[in-house]
Amino acid sequence: MADRGRGGRGGGRGGFQQQGFPSRGRADGGRGGFRGGFGGDRGRGGPRGGGFGGNRASAAPELFRQDGQIHPPRQDIQRLEDTTLKQDLTTRLQSLNIKSEAPLRPAYGIKGQHITLWANYFELLPSKNQAFNRYAIDLLPKGKGDEPKGKKRVRLVQLLLAQLPKNIAIASDYKSTILAASTLGFTNKEFLITYYPETEAGPGKNPPKYRARVQHTGTLTFETLLNYLSSTNLTQEKPAVKEEIIQATNIVLGHGMKSNSKIMTKRNKYFPEEGNLVEKWMLGHGLEAFRGFFMSVRAATGRILLNVQVQHIAVWEAIPLVSLFDKMVADRMSWTEINRAISGLWVHVTHLNKRLKRIGGLASPAEARRGQNAPQVPTFGANANQVKFWKDSVQPARYVSVAGHFKQEWKALNQPNAPVVNVGTRSVPVYLPSELCHVKKQQDYDKKLPPDATAAMIGGRNGGAVRFAPENARTISGNGISLLKQNSEKILNNFGVKIDTRMITVSARVLNGVPLSYSGKIQQPRDAGWNMRDIKFSKGAQMPAWSYVWVRTQQNSGSFRNMQEVAQTVNAFHVMLGTCGIQTTKPLPGKELRLNNPQDPDTEIDKFFSSVKGVRLLLVILPFQSTQIYNAVKRAADVKYGVHTVDVVGDRRKFAKAVEGGDNSQYFANVALKFNLKLGGHNQLLRPADLGFVSEGKTMLVGLDVTHPAPGSSESAPSVSSITASINAQLAQWPADVKIQTGRKEMIEGLKDMFKTRLQLWQKHNQQKLPEEIIVYRDGVGETMYDLVRTIELPQMKEACKEIYPATATKADKPYITIIICGKRHNTRFYPTSEQEADQRTGGTKNGTIVDRGVTEAREWDFYLQAHTALQGTPKSAHYVVVHDEIFRRRAAAIKSNDGRNAGQRAADELEALTHAMCYCFGRATKAISLAPPAYYADLICDRARRWLSRVFDERTVVSSEDGGEARPEDVQIHPNLRDTMFYI
């Protein structure tokens, strides 16, 4: 459901007064919101996202202008792109081996209105013959010990570079590689490094020493790569050094910024902390936001480009830990929330010469239950007077308080009522008073931001992270280029690389919106959205026996005052279900569920579901947005009891709006969308003309995804893989399956068996016929993993088909399979060059925008598609990469057409048009979404499985939380009652 997040608040809080310990407030820790590294969403809708529509703002921001000029896309690059792909697709297919490498781009698409856009790329102009002399670094202690890692390794490389010749341009990634503009005069040499921290002027007594071996591993030049990118020979083999040259250029690019202590570096993201380029604002909770830039080198047809994108990050303030606690308490965080937030935080211990320690969490009674002479911790987050440990070094051996220990061994604490933190483990705790800890600088916050911090991140004093597209473009061409020039331009020039500081333009196209078919009516979208006024679902489901439950807590009942008001609202909702076309029956009498422990509601919710008899669908009315309650409901309903559930929030702004005389029709219509899908209905359909050959009913669409444990999850937390697939030509129903697999493993384990279940379900709905073609949209794969999808996952799909299809089909290489990698975790953005091409609300690109040239490579088949309308911020296209194709090029080559397009253009247009059209048939919304529905649905079922496994997936501390236990396959086994339905919507 959309309304997930946190519940109501508890009692008031105070600071760390000497008079007594502050009130604890609530301890639910339920959170929603973004993580510390801020990214865009997947085209979330606004008011017109469902139901009966909304309004659009009229004022548009001023568009981006670069020096008042718009230079057209480079014509020589466009000619090179066209020349490279001029060979007819039919001729190329004659020698095609569909089982081998990734498919070559058949052609560039031509459908749509042709426009020009800015792209957040800048040209790099390298000297072909300039050498990159590459050296490998090996670091080991002089004597026994492990290879240094992390910040220590960075510092050691800094000290090593200081010993190299000063008259040679040198760059490093500060890990394993040194690049030199000319040879260093040796091929293999060992250096002795005396370590001391950057904060100190020189080594102290008995400093640690390390041996650094520097070995020459080769010489790189741009010539080979530039010749490849400029070649019109489509089948020319990609040079083995391509990625090495790109990596080397990235190292040189980033060296200057990584060498600047006033720039916070997170991989290839750079955030100025001091100087005239700093943009930051406070988030509350001891956090602050910084604006910076992602910078990365990429290859494109005929040139090498630098991608620069605005980035935002939430980081901890470098302040005393007691001050951090003060801020958190003032911002009404519970101690459970504080404990979760500080887990993993690095602090300088001020009484030990700023030694670094990592906080496990607050002192917890959980540590007091472990063996003889266990610590004594009376309450969660206890202070230095309250926490006691067994001390053998005193006579007689006895329990002493943390405050008493420090008074005896060091000096009396100034703030003994401040909480104690554990910098050890749960089994071997090490307690420190928080007044002796200072938060280390440049630590990003890697957990979910509190809702108010999320709001501050989005709309902060400096404009926030979500800004109109032209503002981001101006920031990139302004501060972004200034950061580059101040820190990287000189060293790039020393390596023979110049930067064209003008943002490039590219040719793009805009596809028209796609009409939707409802029961007896065609809806024409406006700005990729539409409403359901006077519209019925294309196919209304038959409502089974259903009921509702009003969930309450001791402190919070939502906006409803009694069951009579609940019943009246549910009856009004029941009328709306009929209006939308669902063949409904009146609900059975509802029940009230009063939770005594909303922070851990599983037992009470399980007991309730065990009492539910004769009901197949349950409307669950929550008192507030609560992750804990929501997860418990879904665990019980989806896995254990097999009951469809739709969760709503009984708030005056949501489901309970009519209690105070408001119009609930829009919220009711949104909920009705979910009811109909869960019960097997069809909400909106695409016209056969827009579906193309998929409308023939011989093509199955499949979505695949893998999601991984977040930082802070249990070490035993698995990854979750999912599959969803269409069951017929309507693309209205997408049942799914999900499994757990090895944690953080990218490739799907057991895909063959999952794939077979989708084929068997297709048979069930198509008179035992199997699909002749299968189009797979695979989400969750990084660029470096594309080949693995083809070499590891494709064979599993083929094996599944071999076991299901008759031998005559598989011998003929049927069914035909195409695999498309899709995702939005990229940093490419586009900006309009004229008012006519801009969205009038945001100044961003319009829905239907597609880019397949200018920032791509001619030989690789990929494109960027923005199907949705972004209601705020900069529109983010989805990126689609074809890694295997047995369908589109074959079909296009076989068709005789007189529309003026060649076979390659037909193949490109057909894939782009199908992908675009499908974004309009996502059943849970009345707007186009930003990612192809097969992948989006697969993402949703992964998210549902994470909720079933929240005890191992939750961000938790190793000190205060009880172990979530190992995840078991049966924990994500969908109940048979729901298995072949869209229960996860």
Question: What is the mean pLDDT of the segment spanning 67-86?
Answer: 94
- Rg, C-alpha atoms of the chain: 30
Residue 739: CB atoms within 10 A of its CB come to: 20
Is the confidence at residue 342, as pLDDT, over 60? yes
CA-nearest of 629, 454, 717, 628 to 29 is 628
Specify the pLDDT at position 40.
37
Nearest to 88 by CA among 909, 899, 889, 914: 889
pLDDT tens track for 585-630: 999 999 999 999 998 999 999 999 999 999 999 999 999 999 999 9
Q: For residue 878, give the nearest of 933, 819, 940 by alpha carbon.
A: 933
For the segment 534-546, the average pLDDT, to the nearest whole number, is 97
Please name the helix (run of DSSP H) or strand (run of DSSP E) that holds residue 337, with its range, or none.
Answer: helix 335-342
**CATH value of 540-678 in 1.10.10.10, 3.40.50.2300, 3.40.50.970, 3.40.50.300:** 3.40.50.2300
CB-based contact 478:313 (threshold 8 Å): no
Share of the chain above pLDDT 70, in %: 91
Q: How far is CA 638 from CA 606, 643, 972, 985, in A?
A: 12, 6, 9, 11
Checking if the pLDDT of 136 tops 50, the result is yes
Q: Which of 219, 132, 164, 951 is nearest to 601 (CA)?
A: 951
Of 878, 880, 822, nearest in space to 845 by CA: 878
In sequence order, what E strands does 650-729 have? 685-686, 699-707, 719-725
By the 8 A CB rule, do 846 and 839 touch?
Answer: yes
Asked if residues 650 and 570 have their Cβ atoms less than 8 Å apart, the reply is: no
Q: Taking a C-beta distance cutoff of 8 angstroms, is the pair 593, 552 a contact?
A: yes
Extract the tokens encoding 873.
């911020």
CA gap 924, 803 in Å, rounded: 34
Angle subtended at Cα 267 by Cα 266 and Cα 271, rounded to the nearest 5 degrees: 40
CA distance readout (Å), 769 to 289, 357, 772, 805: 56, 63, 9, 10
Q: How far is CA 528 from the centre of its chain?
A: 24
Cis-peptide, bond into residue 396, ω within 30° of zero = yes
| Contact yes or no for 291/280 (Cβ under 8 A) | yes
Q: Is-contact 704 722, C-beta < 8 A?
A: yes
- How many whole angstroms separate alpha carbon 159 and alpha carbon 195? 8
Q: At what angle do helices 242-258 and 223-230 cross, to 10 degrees?
A: 120
The token pair at 706 is: 């893998």
Phi then psi dihedrals of residue 307, to 5 deg: -90, 125
Give the pLDDT confidence of 212-252 residue by residue, as tens digits.
Answer: 999 999 999 999 999 999 999 988 999 999 999 999 999 99
- Please state the separation of Cα 33 from the chain's center in Å: 12
- Residue 793, classed as helix, strand or coil, is helix
H helix or E strand, kind and range, residue 502: strand 497-510
Is the confidence at residue 501, as pLDDT, over 60? yes
E-strand spans in 127-197?
132-141, 170-172, 177-180, 188-194
Q: Which residue has the higher pLDDT, 648 or 425?
A: 648
Gap between the Cα atoms of 503 and 123, Å rounded: 8
- Say yes or no to pLDDT of 896 above 80: no
- CATH fit for domain 75-123+684-955, picks 1.20.120.420, 3.30.420.10, 3.40.50.2300, 2.60.410.10: 3.30.420.10
Q: Which residue has the tokens 């490039």?
A: 504
Per-residue pLDDT tens digits for 546-592: 999 999 999 999 999 999 999 999 999 999 999 999 999 999 999 99
pLDDT in tens, 30-55: 333 334 444 433 333 333 344 444 43
Q: What tens digit of pLDDT does each residue of 652-667 get?
A: 888 998 887 888 899 9
Q: State pLDDT tens for residues 764-779.
A: 999 999 999 999 999 9
For residue 583, the 8-state DSSP code is B
What is the rounded distance in angstroms from the CA atom of residue 859 to the CA atom of residue 851? Answer: 15
CA dihedral 299, 305, 310, 313 (to 10 degrees): 50
Strand order in the sheet with 546-553: 591-595, 546-553, 617-622, 644-649
Q: How many whole angstroms separate alpha carbon 722 and alpha carbon 720?
A: 7
CA 87/CA 564 separation, integer angstroms:
73
Residue 660 DSSP code: G
CATH number belonging to domain 346-442 = 2.170.260
State the average pLDDT over residues 71-94: 86
User: What is the per-residue pLDDT for 100?
Assistant: 53
Give residue for tokens 């380029």. Answer: 277
For the full predicted model, state whether its pTM sits above 0.85: yes
Q: pLDDT tens digits for 779-825?
A: 989 999 999 999 999 999 999 999 999 999 999 999 999 999 999 99
Q: How many CA atoms lie within 13 A of 510 on its CB side?
A: 20
Distance CA 633, CA 607 (A): 11
Q: State the burial class of residue 846 (Cβ atoms within 10 Å of its Cβ: 0-12, 13-18, 19+).
A: buried
> In whole angstroms, what is the distance from residue 904 CA to residue 896 CA?
12
Q: Rounded CA gap, 951 and 485, in Å?
A: 48
Domain spans of the chain, in order of start: 75-123+684-955, 127-272+294-313+466-499, 346-442, 540-678
pLDDT at 673 over 50: yes
Q: Averaged over 854-863, what is the pLDDT?
A: 98
Is residue 488's pLDDT more than 70? Answer: yes
Check: CB of residue 757 under 8 Å from CB of residue 704. no
Q: Token pair of 200, please? A: 């100190």
Residue type, 338: I
Please enumerate in sequence order all residues whose Cβ is within 8 A of that of 722, keeping only pairs 6 or more positions apart, or say none. 703, 704, 705, 706, 707, 736, 737, 738, 739, 938, 939, 941, 942, 945
Task: List the one residue out of 349, 350, 373, 369 whose CA is nearest residue 359.
Answer: 349
At 347, list the tokens.
Answer: 């602090």
Is-cis flag, bond preceding 239, omega within 30? no
Q: At 543, is the secondary structure helix, strand, or coil?
A: coil
Cα(first)–Cα(last) distance of the chain, in Å? 8
Tell me what pLDDT residue 710 has: 81
Q: Per-residue confidence at 462, pLDDT binned at 50, 70, 90?
A: low
Q: Give the tens place of pLDDT for each residue, 490-500.
A: 999 999 999 99
Strands 546-553 and 591-595: parallel
448 bridge partner residues: 35
Residue that wins the pLDDT comparison between 195 and 145: 195
Say if residue 7's pLDDT is above 90: no
What would the mean pLDDT of 81-92 be, rounded to a whole number?
80
Rounded to the nearest 5 degrees, what angle is found at the Cα of 228, between the Cα atoms of 225 and 233? 175
